[in-house]
A and B are shown apart, each in its own frame.
Chain A
Amino acid sequence: MYFLKRLLVLPPLLILISLIAFLLVRTAPGGPFDKERKPASPEIERRLLERYHLDQPLWKQYLLYLKGLSQGDFGPSLKQRNHTVNDIISQALPVSATLGAAAFLFSLGVGIPLGFYTAARRGHGFELAGSSLALLFVCVPALVVGPVLVIVFAVHWSIFPVALWGGAWHMVLPTITLGLYFSGKVARLMREGMLTTMHADYIIAARAKGLSESAVLWRHAFRIAVLPVVSYSGPLLADLLTGSFVVESLFQIPGMGVFVINSALNRDYPMIVGLVLVYAVLLLVLNLLVDAAYTWLDPRVRYD
């Protein structure tokens, strides 16, 4: 029931978000045609505006946009002529999503074990090394990792291709670049979760029953300790799937991150609103899934 209600709220929420994004970009000064052929004759400019209905009053434009949206049409791109926003999204999103999913798996695959074992093996040298490593990862942004990886592995040793997109081999460096920072974050969340869980009553009870250490850790502690990671992974996945400008521009990957930045810089109105909506849909749906996962992992959580 609870989730049904949440699902029903989604469409109005998305409409509200589209309205805010629409108003935000429209009230900002500057227009999509500012940068091209500067001495554009007033005639050309008028025709361009007319072609894209930009001469209509704002509320009318928004209603027109909503009408298109209801038929699944995000409108034309004002910068990439002859391409609709749908075209661009359907070309760029799969690329970004593949890379994003790989980076997501990488950051969970590295972060969860790292956080888990540094919390489980307290007092060893391993703990210090592991948590220092996680802290280091959090302090190494993609801006730094990317160029260094390219210089070392692609230019100097030529193990991996420098750039471009195609095949799994091309994905290794971008995935690490994108995922390293988040793997550190996940590790820290996981560790924190474990440390708080290990003091809970039911863990003490499980120990008292004489369960083996691994059964206590894996069957009882892990489920609850992973919750912070789960709630973080919703927004994280939405972020990663929609692309990263730094990684995509560094490795020349034809993904969405580049369009996000350029559309905002160029005031490509339908494009911005379209991309914002894609992101918002992903984020809201993933957050819903996160909340559903909560009830499954932690039986104490109930929504009504």
Chain B
Amino acid sequence: MLTLGLFLHPWFSNQSPTTLTDALAHPPSTLHWFGTDLMGRDLLSRLVYGARISMMVGLVGAGVSLFIGVLWGAVAGYVGGYCDGIMMRAVDILYSLPSVIFVIVMITTLEGLFKNWLLQNFSPEAAGVARLLFLFAGLGAVSWLTMARIVRGEVLSLRTRSFVDASRAMGASHTHILLTHILPNVAGVVIVYLTLTIPSVILYESFLSYLGLGIQAPQASLGSLLAEGSAQINSLRLYWWMVVFPGLLLVVMLLTLNFIGDGLRDAFDPRSEKI
């Protein structure tokens, strides 16, 4: 919660994350609590902004995976038969492709398709926003597989329950049954898994930003800050604060989210005793 609070206050630091100062690569001081980066930007305010972006990517990416995963799993589990077979084999095959390649090809493809169009019709800033959108799409597109499997399993067992039969006997349509009877029953499992998806999406985003495929400069995410920091490792000068602080923040953020996820799982799962 403490971590979440931090992201909601970009005015935490009164220095702009992009303001350049003369203090190039200064270690932490009273003026710049976490030091400055190579171009003299205040690391603390960059971290706050970066963490907000990472968090947003995590939330939206998990949201996209939720949408695709639940839809796919619910349809496969509910319709059953051949349809189920084909849809789940597709999931199996996507599992056996390395997801990194998939994401890279997808992001660069989308960008290739839209970049010129955006530059012509809108401003360069729009292209930056578009990059964020592609990132959401790409991350969502690779993280829905497990969700689909879980939902399908649940729906398969729910489908044969008597209240579904009763509803069908009363002439309810398939959409109606899916929306009012099946999905609410899946919600618990889905919410639990969703909270565990968010940290993994954040992790993936930091990895992509590390590759230079994620958030573009001058914007920053925790991953790109880490990449900047670890590019500066050499034995002559140690810019340790550029690695340690983003790393620490990422770890704290993931810890918080995992705590929430674990707690929710314990609360929803009747079998698990209090740990």
Q: Spell out A's residues near B (CB within 8 Å).
A: 13, 16-17, 20-21, 24-25, 28-30, 131, 135-136, 138-141, 143-144, 146-148, 150-151, 155-156, 162, 195-196, 235, 242, 245-246, 250, 260-261, 263-265, 272, 275-276, 279-280, 283-284
Contacts and interface: CB of A to CB of B under 8 A. Distances in A.
Contacts of B203: 141
Given A29-B112, A151-B240, A155-B233, A246 B210 contact: yes
A136 B255 contact: yes
B35 to A, nearest CB: 14
B120 to A, nearest CB: 17
Interface of B: 93, 95-98, 100-102, 104-105, 108-109, 112-113, 199, 203, 206-207, 210-211, 223, 226-227, 229-230, 233-235, 238, 240, 243-244, 247, 250-251, 254-255, 258-259, 262, 271-272, 275
A155 B105 contact: no
Contact of B97 (A30, A155, A276): A276
Contacts of B255: 135-136, 139
Given A144-B247, A242-B98, A138 B105 contact: no
A204 B105 CA distance: 53
Given A143-B223, A150-B233, A265-B108, A246 B207 contact: yes
Contacts of B102: 24
A28 B233 contact: no
Contacts of A141: 203, 206-207, 250, 254
A21 B211 contact: no
A29 B113 contact: yes
A2 to B, nearest CB: 17
Contact of A28 (B105, B199, B230, B275): B105
Given A17-B93, A24-B105, A246-B210, A260 B199 contact: no
A156 B238 contact: yes
A299 B235 CA distance: 56
B155 to A, nearest CB: 22
Nearest to B226: A143
Contacts of B226: 143-144, 147
Contacts of B229: 147
Contacts of A29: 109, 112-113
B238 A143 contact: no
A264 B93 contact: no
Contacts of A279: 96-98
A25 B95 CA distance: 17
A41 to B, nearest CB: 23
A30 B243 contact: no
